[in-house]
Amino acid sequence: MSEKAVLMLEDGLLLEGKSFGISGEAVGEVVFNTSMTGYQEILTDPSYRGQIVCMTYPLIGNYGVNETDVESKRVQVEGFIVKESSLIASSWRAQVKLQDCLSSNEVVAISDVDTRAITRRIRQKGAMKGIISTVDFNVKSLKKKLEVTPSIVGQDLVEKVSCDSTYEWEEGLGIKKLPGEYRRDPANRCVVVIDCGVKLSILRNLKEYFLCVMVVPAKTPLKEILKLRPDALLFSNGPGDPEPVTYVIETAREVIARLKKRELKVAVMGICLGHQLLGLAFGGRAEKLKFGHHGGNHPVKDLESGRIDITAQNHNFVIPHTSIPEAELVPTHINLYDHTPEGARHKKLPLFSVQFHPEAGPGPFDAQYIFGQFARMAQEVQK
């Protein structure tokens, strides 16, 4: 018989279900993800640090967990909520069941709760803190624990997920490679990724274009980064509020200043949090979305071509373009759900960024071509 578990939201909603992770408690901001598959990639995405993820698709775990479909070395979510946890892992690629993966990663999870009700609540009231517990069922006690838990606003979560030391990434897309324009050009020698919580799918995509992919900790000074002689710099995705990540913002400001003075010849790209950090470096301000964008079905329009891509997204904050004083930085993409900004490029500098995830993982591959654009920009800069 499964152990009892409860979920309590900040507004007082209390739901009883079953535990399918470890026994204990998990506290974090509750968000919902609308992807139908890809729970393994979601669980291991460093951008979810500090959050409890509620899956809107009702059956989770039916194809198990393997060593290939991971986005980091560990499960990153604070807790996990599903309607039904599959007892069967019916895939030839499955190595362990989801329940075993959660237990080995010491994750508290709850099933047999109304995830539709939770999602509707968050959509109506906004993302809020929540607690999953298998050891404490007292309403007053749970409420008090939520009250003393800090919001993700103002927290630097990047320092918790960034790598400890510089390393070279050598794995490409392998069996996940799609037919098309992928080709490694000798002109693209090196890209340096500033690791704010980078997903492995991003590194795999970059390796299809660059001979050398170097990953550096988020706090690495620019002078140390330039010793690697990069042709391109990528500010990666990552978790939480961008404004407390002042050390990366300062690095971005320094890069921008040196590009303007023509002291530096590199192509620059930002993804998700990296997009936000570049926006802040240009003088913008961050705003928290009501319930964030989390899932693999967000339509994004390219304002120049009119092309619409269905994209994977995972962010809670945006940088309104009207808040950015840099006149040469122009918007390139918008989200067709709520018309929030999804991309920007500089008219004179070799720099652009996107709020969505071109690598997917999970999600559609509509926007994967953006890595090719980045590689071509790096070639143009070196001419």
Residues annotated as part of the active site: 272, 357, 359
Task: Say which residue the tokens 């901001």 belong to.
Answer: 29
Q: Residues with Cβ < 8 Å from 303, sequence gap 6 or more?
A: 331, 332, 333, 334
CB atoms inside a 10 Å sphere around CB 255: 23
* Selection from 108, 109, 103, 128 nearest residue 118 by Cα: 128
The answer to whether 374 and 351 are in contact (CB under 8 A) is no
Half-sphere exposure of 217 (CA within 13 A, CB side): 11
Q: How far apart are CA 293 and CA 298, in angstroms?
A: 8
Which tokens belong to 38? 């890809």
Rounded to the nearest 5°, which phi and psi values hold at 230? -75, 145
* Contacting residues for 320 by C-beta, under 8 A, at least 6 apart: 284, 285, 287, 341
CA angle 200, 238, 35 (to 5 degrees): 70
CA dist., res. 34 & res. 206, Å (int)? 27
